[in-house]
Amino acid sequence: MSDTRIEPFTAHTDPATIADLRARLRATRWPDVPGDIGWGLGTDIDYLRELEEYWANDFDWTAREADLALLPRFRVPIGGGRIHFVHAPAATAADSTIPLILCHGWPDSFWRYSRVIPLLTDPGAHGADPADAFEVIVPDMPGFGYSDPPVGPALDSIAVAERFAELMTVLDHERFFAAGGDIGSHVSRYLALDHPERVVAVHRMDAGLPVPGFQNDLTDEERQWLTGAAAWGAAEGAYAAMHRTKPQTAAFGLTDSPVGLAAWIVEKLRAWSDCGGEIERSFSKDEILTDVTIYWLTGTIGSSMRMYNANAAIPPAQLSRRVEVPSGFSLFPADIVRPPRAWLDRSTNLQYVSEPTRGGHFAPFEEPELYAQELRDFFRPYRETASG
């Protein structure tokens, strides 16, 4: 990293800020609950009360902040704001070591990849082939985590991809691998679409839906997928409709109430993970609250939601572009709206499809070993191309 604008970054939270958070938690005004509904109408009040009590009295943010500080973290000004990123070198330098940029989604940040980074940089220490090591870059998107919110309107996935491409230039990486899930899947897609000479191969956990114009030429499998996606949207998509249309209205309450913020995020961690309805099968309380506390301390819930509004305005012509860069997909069983192979073939230069046995939307965090192996298996044939 030769660019002098790059500065090491370590977060240090003022104890007074933590004291304020705990006071707000203890002063929560709880809603009424119409009977024993559990998670049926949203976040379960009994679980949230339990989480709130732990957050207010036992959660050690200082220790969690110290754990995150073990990752090599930096910030650099790009596009009018500072991008925060993890830059973890491979354990052993070799010609086969290729830089890999990992793109997160919502509701998270670089947190999504915090458990998998050591497995990718030092596979030999985790029972895998040392030759499969990556140099790993994990940026927070603008308006997420410790990256600055955009000045003015939110950035869409195309604009974020441009900033990430510039970040890779700043890091002296002319060619690299890209991977992502959720919004990060879209960002890595646009990295491949707009920088095919630089992105050697791209791995994703999901794929966009067909846009008008494509829908007259779909297979039966693809039509069933669309029907299922519409049903999922009707039952589970209220959050996304709010983000796309009136994110600022929700931002007032979620920025002011830590329990409200936790309810908004925790319900998605449970619904989208492979936890069988028991959220702590996938995430401990400390892990959940690390994610939520990053949002609370950085005040980024509003700016993160506004990206949905920006993405809703992307022209259909952009959404219908075919990815010609070699593409791979790992479709985890508990992820949402899993695409059929016919759509992957239609929309990408498909070279790899895998269906792991466990994991959901947050597989890099839920199942880091499985996710790391997926990336090793897909990218391995392209290492010589990338280093040549």
Q: Which residues contact 1 (CB under 8 A, 6 or more apart)?
A: 74, 87, 170, 171, 172
Number of helices and strands in the chain (H, E): 17, 9
Quote the tokens at residue 3.
């660019």
Nearest Cα to Cα of residue 267 among 25, 45, 103, 36: 45
129 noted as active-site residue: no
Neighbours of 79 (CB within 10 A): 17
> Beta-strand (E) ranges in the chain?
7-8, 73-78, 81-88, 98-103, 134-139, 176-180, 199-204, 323-330, 348-354
Computed over its alpha carbons, how large is the radius of gyration of the chain?
20
* Distance, CA of 347 to chain centre: 22
Rounded to 10°, the helix 183-194/301-312 angle is 50
Nearest Cα to Cα of residue 271 among 334, 219, 315, 317: 334
126 noted as active-site residue: no
User: What secondary structure, in 3-state letters, does 50-72 show?
Assistant: HHHHHHHHCCCHHHHHHHHHCCC
195 noted as active-site residue: no
Nearest Cα to Cα of residue 242 among 160, 301, 183: 301
Quote the tokens at residue 160.
């974020």
Q: Are 360 and 370 in contact (CB under 8 A)?
A: no
Q: Are 138 and 72 in contact (CB under 8 A)?
A: no
Which of 87, 186, 243, 361 is flagged as catalytic?
A: 361
Which of 132, 148, 182, 206 is flagged as catalytic?
A: 182
Q: Are 248 and 306 in contact (CB under 8 A)?
A: yes
**Residue 112 and residue 364: Cα distance in Å, rounded?**
6
Q: Are 85 and 140 in contact (CB under 8 A)?
A: yes
Kindly report the backbone phi and psi dihedral angles of residue 337, in degrees, each rounded to the nearest multiple of 5, phi listed first.
50, 60
Which of 122, 308, 335, 371 is flagged as catalytic?
A: 308
DSSP state of 6: -
- Under DSSP, is residue 240 helix (H, G, I), strand (E, B) or coil? helix
Point out the residues that are catalytic: 182, 308, 361
